[in-house]
Structure 1
Amino acid sequence: MAKLAALRRTKIVAAGALGLCAALFIAAKILEGRYPGLGFVAAFAEAAIIGGLADWYAVVALFKRPLGLPIPHTAIIPANRDRIADNLGRFIEINFLAPGPVREKLEEVDFAVLVADWLTDEKRSAGLSRFVARLVPQMLTAVEQSGLSDFVAARMRAQIEKVQVAPLAAELLSTFTDERRHQMLFDEFIKVIGRFLNDEQALTAMRDKVREELPSLFNLFRADAYLLKKIVASASSLLEEVYADPVHPMRREFDHFVRRFVEKLKTSEEYARRAELLKRDFMARPEFTGLAGTMWESLRQFIEQDAAASDSTIRRQMTGMFVEIGKQLTADPQIRDDMNQGFVVALGSFVENQKSGVSKFIADQVKSWDFAQLTRLIEINVGRDLQYIRFNGMIVGGLAGIVLYGLERFVID
């Protein structure tokens, strides 16, 4: 409202100045015969009136038709709305969205520092983790629909088929037998046999077997019980001896057996063929065929449940990862430089590809404006300054009138 009031005051003053020039012109003309010097005043006032009217016309013609008359080339801004809009959009595209200026402006921004500062804030990283966790179900569904899980399963199967089982098993056994760790397995075997020899049911079964093999006469004297007791006692004594002696001959024999077996796995074609047959039989089983799907379902269920939990491990790990990424960015200037260059190239290419769309967007927005309201806003904001053109026109016109009048009086005459 203050601008509108100032504009109105300026218009009144300009109109008053024009009226004053008209009154001055009339008075000077009336008194010119008595006072010849007033001819200069009359010339000044006459030219000032002409200059003021001309500039009034020029200012008014920018926004509307002077006096409402349909004069050509008036109401310039409303009449040329579409052309102004297109030229404005094209001007911004050429001068503001050119590759050079855009790249220079982008290079002034340290995007990596902004990203690093944002990520090192644990609350922000936690918020980002929650956002990513909410997208987990959609991401898993997208993976399933894209066929990625089936592709991975097929690749895993293809890779497993390429694996030579026998050499791999030999390498694993060689690693296991380092520092005689296979003897621990032998110790466990001894313990199992010892427990078997002390099991009542096992002893009863063995005694029945001995009785079946002995002649009836021996059974009459209960030789089966005697023989079983001797066998069990001897076996238990031998097992205790082997268990207590780390260099017992039976242990050395077990070492030889394991080494020979590992060597055959490495070199024997027969062992390799049997291992491959075993692998193919295993892979042909329905349990293996559905293993990939079962693993995927289990993984999906775990991820979804954990992501939805209040104390989600996945979210906690992602938060720590994001914070650590921010710290690494802060500490490594080379990574920041590379990252900033990537941002400049990516954003520069985006602006270059989209700048024609930006130009059209600006033009469409300008075309959609209410130009009657727009011209009024322009007039309110800059109209006061435009009114001073009328003052300048009167002054310049008046001075020109004096010069022309002087030339007419003193040079031409």
Structure 2
Amino acid sequence: MTGTKGNSKHLATISLIVMAVGFLATIPLPPSIWKTIFQGGFEAGLVGGLADWFAVTALFRQPLGVPIPHTALLPKNREKIIGKIIAMLENDWLTKESIREKIGGFRFTDKIFAVVNQEIHSDAVKQSLTGLTKHLITMINVNKLAPIVEKELKTHLNSLDIKDYIPLLIDQISLRKYDEKALDLFIAEVDEWAKKDTTKYRLGGMAVDMIENIKVDGFMQIALRSFSNLINEEKLGSMIQNLILKGIDSFRDPFNQNRQTLLIHIHQKLESIKSDEKVYLELNQFKSQLIENWQAEEKINELLSQIRQKALEFVEEPDFYAEYVLPFIKDYLSDLISDKDKMDQLESWIKSHITGFIDKNHAKVGQLVKENLDKLDTKTLVTMIETNVGKDLQWIRVNGAVCGFLIGLVLVGIKAIF
């Protein structure tokens, strides 16, 4: 810009010099019609060039430093010019209405989502979102979160009614034949206990003690004493043990009547529990006591710490962004873009906030321009204006000299003719 302005200024100066040299060169020539015409043309061109030089120079400074009135117009009228510029900016060029009209015809969401769709694949966004995710996970305070989780968990467990689950449990016991399996387990335990020698001697000893403690008179007392003399603890224990083992074996037979009767009785007892309010009341009270006495905060704290550590390790995996974050963002943006109502709402929200911001800060536009211009001293401001518009102004000087020369030729020619 400075080079262009300098070239045009040199051209204007050269045109003025040409007119002056031409005028001086025609003075010593012998009188003739051509001398008169060309001398008049160069004279008019010189006058026009000097007049335009004076006019252009007077805008920015005093010509030749002479304090001529109505010169150095820009330095003398700095505040007035700045005020006019700001007034034009606020009231003519950048009015609130014109800005609102421009904003109304612009689709911000289309531009925003176009940029987002392009940038989400960049490494910078990948690193930023991954780092943000890790930062958010690290910020989770498990010590503060654990009591909240414990409270919510206990509240949820207390809200569960045993009545909704006991019938399901009983149905599953019957369906999966847990009652038969429990009976078989009990029979196996009793069988293992009955086969032990210690059991045999214990049962025999208990039976002998019972016989000896029976109080009867007469013949029955003589018979019992005779029986106790014939049978010792081992024999009596073996008899009782064999009776128990035979009874256990009979209950192992799935078609045994006693087994079937016992299972039917168990099943009826289980079914009766479904409608036993006392059982439900006791179970609910027992459940409430267990939940109240359950100290789960420490375990929950450990669990949350492990989950947080696992989450950090998961985020640091190379494919985390491409496989999880990026598809999530794409799906969300796709759903949002396809929803016309949401897009219109978002567009209206953006425009309303921008419009509100402009309404509140429109006056600051001119104030900002004034503040920036006030930072410049008068010399710098004049230099900037002259630099930016100097080319056209210098062409005024060139045009003044050339037009003056041509007009002078015409005028002198007309004068010579008449």
Q: TM-score, normalised by structure 1?
A: 0.68
Are residues 1:168 and 2:164 paired? yes
**Which residue of structure 2 aligns with residue 256 of structure 1?**
268
Change (3 A) 1:7 1:259: same
Instruction: Give 1:260 shift.
Output: 1.4
Amino acid at match of 2:265: E
**Which residue of structure 2 aligns with residue 181 of structure 1?**
175
Change (3 A) 1:207 1:299: same
**Which residue of structure 1 aligns with residue 311 of structure 2?**
307
Change (3 A) 1:366 1:97: farther
- Please give the alpha-carbon distance, in whole angstroms, between the structure 2 residues aligned to 1:174 and 1:360: 82
Q: Secondary structure at the match of 1:105?
A: coil
Percent identity, please: 14
Q: Is the 8 A contact 1:119 1:325 kept in 2?
A: no
Amino acid at match of 1:137: T
Change (3 A) 1:202 1:347: farther
Q: Which of 1 and 2 has greater Rg? A: 2
After TM superposition, the structure 1 stretch with the greater mean CA deviation from structure 2, 272-281 or 81-90, is: 81-90
Are residues 1:325 and 2:310 paired? no
**Which residue of structure 1 aligns with residue 240 of structure 2?**
227
After TM superposition, the structure 1 stretch with the greater mean CA deviation from structure 2, 8-17 or 379-388, is: 379-388
Given candidates 365, 369, 390, the residue that maps to 1:383 is 390
Q: Is the 8 A contact 1:119 1:125 kept in 2?
A: yes
Change (3 A) 1:223 1:6: same
Instruction: Give 1:136 shift.
Output: 0.9
- Please give the alpha-carbon distance, in whole angstroms, between the structure 2 residues aligned to 1:284 and 1:382: 86
**Which residue of structure 1 aligns with residue 75 of structure 2?**
75
- Please give the alpha-carbon distance, in whole angstroms, between the structure 1 residues aligned to 2:194 and 2:367: 93
Show the 5 A alignment for 1:177-216: 177=173, 180-184=174-178, 186-199=180-193, 204=198, 208=202, 211-213=205-207, 214-215=210-211
Gaps of 5+ in 2: 213-227
Q: Is the 8 A contact 1:48 1:393 kept in 2?
A: yes
Given candidates 10, 13, 16, the residue that maps to 2:14 is 16
Instruction: Give 1:44 shift.
Output: 2.6
Instruction: Give 1:231 shift.
Output: 0.5
Are residues 1:351 and 2:354 paired? yes
Change (3 A) 1:263 1:42: same
- Please give the alpha-carbon distance, in whole angstroms, between the structure 1 residues aligned to 2:326 and 2:99: 37
Q: 1:20-52 CA deviation, whole Å, 9 max, x = no partner?
A: 334556677999997665685377336513542
Amino acid at match of 1:135: L
Amino acid at match of 1:45: G
Cα RMSD of the aligned pairs, angstroms, is 5.1
- Please give the alpha-carbon distance, in whole angstroms, between the structure 2 residues aligned to 1:57 and 1:207: 136
- Please give the alpha-carbon distance, in whole angstroms, between the structure 1 residues aligned to 2:16 and 2:392: 17
Q: Secondary structure at the match of 1:198?
A: helix
Q: 1:118-142 CA deviation, whole Å, 9 max, x = no partner?
A: 557899668734541233112x13x
Q: Is the 8 A contact 1:47 1:394 kept in 2?
A: yes
- Please give the alpha-carbon distance, in whole angstroms, between the structure 2 residues aligned to 1:88 and 1:300: 64
After TM superposition, the structure 1 stretch with the greater mean CA deviation from structure 2, 77-86 or 104-113, is: 77-86
Q: 1:244-294 CA deviation, whole Å, 9 max, x = no partner?
A: 99x944333333222211232xxx2x3343234223322331x3xx42x33
**Which residue of structure 2 aligns with residue 104 of structure 1?**
105
Q: TM-score, normalised by structure 2?
A: 0.67
Amino acid at match of 2:175: R
Q: Is the 8 A contact 1:196 1:202 kept in 2?
A: no
**Which residue of structure 2 aligns with residue 282 of structure 1?**
290
- Please give the alpha-carbon distance, in whole angstroms, between the structure 2 residues aligned to 1:22 and 1:333: 75
Show the 5 A alignment for 1:130-141: 130-138=131-139, 140-141=140-141
Change (3 A) 1:383 1:185: farther
Instruction: Give 1:345 shift.
Output: 3.7
Instruction: Give 1:14 shift.
Output: 0.9
Aligned residues: 387
- Please give the alpha-carbon distance, in whole angstroms, between the structure 2 residues aligned to 1:386 and 1:100: 35
Instruction: Give 1:12 shift.
Output: 2.1
Amino acid at match of 2:163: P
Are residues 1:273 and 2:281 paired? yes
